[in-house]
A and B are shown apart, each in its own frame.
Chain A
Amino acid sequence: MQRILFIIRKEFLQIFRNRFMVPIIFVVPVVQLIILVNAATLEMKNIRISIVDNDNSSVSHGLSDHIVHSPFFKFVPQEGNNLNLALRRMEKDQTDAILVFPDRFSESIHKGQPADLQLLINAINGMKAGITSSYVAQIIRNYFASSANELNVNASVQPGKTIHQVRISPLFWYNPELNYKIFMVPAILVILVTLTGALLAGLNLVREKEMGTIEQINVTPIGKFEFLAGKLIPFLIIALAELAFGLVMGKILFRIPILGSLLLLFGVVVVYLILVQSLSLLISTVSNTQQQAMFLIFFFMLIFIMTSGIFTPVESMPVIAQKLDWLNPVFYLMRMIRMILLKGSTLKDILPYILPMTGYAATMFLIAVRAYRKTT
C-alpha cells in the first residue's frame, strides 16, 4: 500500500512541475464550458422568415403579425408579393422559411371551409427545419384559438356544431424555461472529467514506455495492481478537482441548478473515472507510443460521447444501439449527472445505473491489471 503512495507522490510532483499542466487544468474547463455550452445549444432564435401574402386580408395580416413579433422569427421584408423572389432569396440563403397565404384564404376561413397555408422551409439542417415547422404550427394554432370568437368561426370546427375547445398546455418539468444550457452544462462536465481522467492517465503510462522508465519499474517487485492504482489515483483526484471547479463555473456562468446531493454526484464520478481510466490504461498497455494510444482513446471517446445521449435522448436511438449503450461508460454518467443535478435524484433513483456501472468499473480495472505485463 505504501508503494502506491510513492507513485502518487511522484505523479503529482511531475504534474505540478510541468508548466503546461496547471494552466490546462484550470483554463480548459472555463473555455469548454463557455464555448461548448453556447455552441452546442439547440435553441432556435432568429429564424429568418419571408411572407408572401396573396390574400391581403385582416386574417392574413393578423397571423403575419403574430409570426413577425414572435421571438423565434426574424421577418425578412421583401419588395413585391412574389413567391419566385422569395424562393430566390432562400436559394441565396437570405431566408430560412417562406409562409404563403393563397388568395381567398380568409374567405374560406369565414365560410368555415378548410383553408390551406403553404410553409416552405430550407431543410438543409433537418433539425432546424423541424423546429421551424413546429414553431409556425404552434403560432397558427394559438392565433386561431385566441381569435376564434372575433372571427366568429373556428378553424377546426364545422359550422353549426357546438364548439368544444380543448386546451393543451404543456408543463415542462425540471427545466421549465426549456433552457438548453442547463441541459448542456452537465454534459460538458462529463466530457471534461472524461478528457482529464482518461486521456491523461493513459498517455502518462505510454509516456513511461516511450522514455524507457517503465523498464526500471518493471524490474522492481512492485505489484501490477499497486502500479496501476498508483497511476490511476492522481488523475482521478485531478478530475474530481476539475469537476468541482466546473460546477462552480457552471453555477456562476449559467446558474445551473444543483438539486441533488453533491456527495452522491462525486461518488458516482469516482466510480465512473475508475471505469474510463481502466479502459484507457488498457489501451495504453497495448500501445507502444503516445500517438497510438491517443488515436485509440479518441476513437472510443468519440463513439462513446456521440451515443451517450449528449444531444438527443438515448430512447430515440435504434433499439440495438440502446442495448449497446449499456457498454458505453459515458452513457451512465451522462444520465446520472443530469438526474442528480437537474432532478435531484437520490441514490435509490440512480440504482439501475450505478449498480451496473460499478460492476463494469471493477471488471475493467481487473482486466487492465491482468493485461498489464511486467514481462514481455
Chain B
Amino acid sequence: MTKEPAIRVRDLVKKFGSFTANDKLTFEVHQGEIFGFLGANGAGKTTAIKILCGLTAPTSGEVYVTGCNVAIQPEKVKKNIGYMSQRFSLYDDMTVAENIWFYAGIYGMDRQQIRGRISQLLSEMGISHIRNTLIRDIPIGWKQKLAFLVAVFHDPPLVFLDEPTAGVDPLARRQFWELIYQYAARGKTVFVTTHYMDEAEYCDRVCILSEGRIAALGTPNELKKLWNARSVEDVFLRIARPNHNKN
C-alpha cells in the first residue's frame, strides 16, 4: 500500500490585500522525512507554516495534513501536530515544569502521563536541574530546546518548527539539530523553516521559496547537481540573484 504523505499541498494561495504571500504552492512531504523550507525573510515561509498548522486560513488551494483537510477538520489536524513558533512562546513568569504541565494539559494528556514524561525528557536533554527555574532566568539556547520539547511533548507524528535556531550560537544550533535528528529517527516527520543555508544540508529534502513561489524542490544533492553548485547556499544565491535588490 502507498503511504499517505504527511503533508499534501495543492495550489495554495494566500493573499493579504493585493500582496500575494504564497503563490500556488504545490508540494508533498513524506512521512518520516526532515523537510526544509528555505527562503529569505519575507519569502512566505511563516505564512505557509501557519496555514499548514491551521492558524491562518488560505485564500485558496487544498491543504491535507496527516490525511485531514485543514480547512474542514482543523481540530483533528491539531491533535497530530506539534508547532514551535518563530516568536518565543513559553511563559516567562512560569518555571520550566509549569510551562510543560500547562501545554501538556491543554493537549489533553493525563497527569500520570505528564509526570512520567517530564522527568524522562528533561533528563534525556540533560536539563533536569533547571526544572524549577523561571523561563526568564535561563539562557536562550536552552529556551529554544524547551520550546521544542513543549512542541513534541504530546508525541505528535508531525512537528512544524518555524526558524527554531534563529538567534542562537553555532554550537547551540548544532545541538538543536541533534534533537531534530533524534526525533526523526523515531519515524516522525519534521517540517522546518530556516534561513541558515548550512542547516539545509541536514534536511532530507528542501524547498526554496522566493517571493511566495517555489523556486526549487528536491534533495540537497539533486539541487546542487541541477544548479551546478557546491552547496545549497550557492543554489539559494543563484535563485535569489535576479531579485537581489528586492530583498
A-to-B contact residues, CB < 8 Å: 2-3, 5-7, 9-10, 13-14, 17-18, 211-213, 215-223, 227, 374-376
Most interface-central of A211, A221, A227, A374 (chain B CB within 10 A): A221
Given known A-B contacts A216-B85, A218-B55, A219-B53, A3 and B108 have beta carbons under 8 A apart: yes
Residues of B near A217 (CB, < 8 A) are: 106
CA distance A222 to B54 in the complex (A): 13
The 4 tightest CB contacts between A and B, nearest first, are A6-B105, A212-B87, A216-B89, A219-B83
- Minimal Cβ-Cβ distance residue in A for B57: A375
B102 CB–A CB distance under 8 Å: yes
**Is A10 a contact of B94 with CB atoms below 8 Å?**
yes
B-to-A contact residues, CB < 8 Å: 50, 53-57, 74-76, 78-79, 81, 83, 85, 87-91, 93-94, 98, 101-103, 105-108, 110, 150
CA distance A2 to B113 in the complex (A): 14
Most interface-central of B57, B83, B89 (chain A CB within 10 A): B89
Of B57, B78, B91, B93, which one neighbours A220 at CB under 8 angstroms? B78
Given known A-B contacts A212-B85, A374-B74, A375-B55, A220 and B106 have beta carbons under 8 A apart: yes
Given known A-B contacts A215-B89, A219-B78, A13 and B107 have beta carbons under 8 A apart: no
- Minimal Cβ-Cβ distance residue in B for A5: B105
Residues of A near B74 (CB, < 8 A) are: 374-375
Of A2, A14, A219, which one neighbours B81 at CB under 8 angstroms? A219
Of A3, A5, A13, which one neighbours B98 at CB under 8 angstroms? A13
Tally of A-B Cβ pairs under 8 angstroms: 84
- Minimal Cβ-Cβ distance residue in B for A6: B105
B44 to chain A minimum Cβ distance, whole angstroms, is: 16
Of A2, A6, A375, which one neighbours B102 at CB under 8 angstroms? A6
Q: Give me 20 A-to-B residue pairs in the complex whose CB atoms sit less than 8 angstroms apart, sorted by A's number.
A: A3-B108, A9-B105, A14-B93, A14-B94, A17-B93, A211-B87, A212-B85, A213-B89, A213-B91, A215-B50, A216-B89, A216-B150, A217-B106, A219-B81, A221-B78, A222-B108, A374-B55, A374-B74, A375-B55, A375-B57
Residues of B near A10 (CB, < 8 A) are: 91, 94, 98, 102
- Minimal Cβ-Cβ distance residue in B for A17: B93
Given known A-B contacts A374-B74, A376-B57, A18 and B93 have beta carbons under 8 A apart: yes
**Is B81 a contact of A3 with CB atoms below 8 Å?**
no
Given contacts A219-B53, A223-B75, A375-B57, 8 further A-B contacts (CB under 8 A): A2-B105, A2-B110, A6-B102, A7-B105, A18-B93, A221-B108, A374-B55, A374-B74
CA distance A89 to B83 in the complex (A): 76
**Is B106 a contact of A219 with CB atoms below 8 Å?**
no
CA distance A222 to B150 in the complex (A): 15
B162 to chain A minimum Cβ distance, whole angstroms, is: 10
**Is B55 a contact of A376 with CB atoms below 8 Å?**
yes
**Is A220 a contact of B103 with CB atoms below 8 Å?**
yes
Residues of B near A6 (CB, < 8 A) are: 101-102, 105-106
**Is B107 a contact of A221 with CB atoms below 8 Å?**
yes
CA distance A222 to B106 in the complex (A): 6
A260 to chain B minimum Cβ distance, whole angstroms, is: 40
Given known A-B contacts A10-B102, A18-B93, A216 and B108 have beta carbons under 8 A apart: no
Residues of A near B87 (CB, < 8 A) are: 211-212, 215
CA distance A334 to B53 in the complex (A): 46
Given known A-B contacts A10-B98, A14-B91, A221-B79, A215 and B108 have beta carbons under 8 A apart: no
**Is B75 a contact of A221 with CB atoms below 8 Å?**
yes
CA distance A345 to B81 in the complex (A): 55
Residues of A near B98 (CB, < 8 A) are: 10, 13
B71 to chain A minimum Cβ distance, whole angstroms, is: 9
- Minimal Cβ-Cβ distance residue in A for B92: A211
Residues of B near A220 (CB, < 8 A) are: 78, 103, 106-107
CA distance A212 to B92 in the complex (A): 12
B200 to chain A minimum Cβ distance, whole angstroms, is: 25
CA distance A7 to B105 in the complex (A): 8
B6 to chain A minimum Cβ distance, whole angstroms, is: 16
A271 to chain B minimum Cβ distance, whole angstroms, is: 27
**Is B85 a contact of A215 with CB atoms below 8 Å?**
yes
Residues of A near B106 (CB, < 8 A) are: 3, 6-7, 217, 220, 222, 227
A12 to chain B minimum Cβ distance, whole angstroms, is: 11
Of A3, A17, A18, A375, which one neighbours B56 at CB under 8 angstroms? A375
CA distance A376 to B78 in the complex (A): 15
- Minimal Cβ-Cβ distance residue in A for B79: A221
B135 to chain A minimum Cβ distance, whole angstroms, is: 11
Most interface-central of B89, B93, B106, B108 (chain A CB within 10 A): B106
B16 to chain A minimum Cβ distance, whole angstroms, is: 11
Of A3, A5, A18, A215, which one neighbours B55 at CB under 8 angstroms? A215
CA distance A14 to B90 in the complex (A): 13
Residues of B near A221 (CB, < 8 A) are: 75-76, 78-79, 107-108
CA distance A5 to B54 in the complex (A): 25
A374 to chain B minimum Cβ distance, whole angstroms, is: 7
**Is B102 a contact of A219 with CB atoms below 8 Å?**
no
Residues of A near B94 (CB, < 8 A) are: 10, 13-14, 17
A315 to chain B minimum Cβ distance, whole angstroms, is: 48
**Is B83 a contact of A216 with CB atoms below 8 Å?**
yes
CA distance A13 to B105 in the complex (A): 15
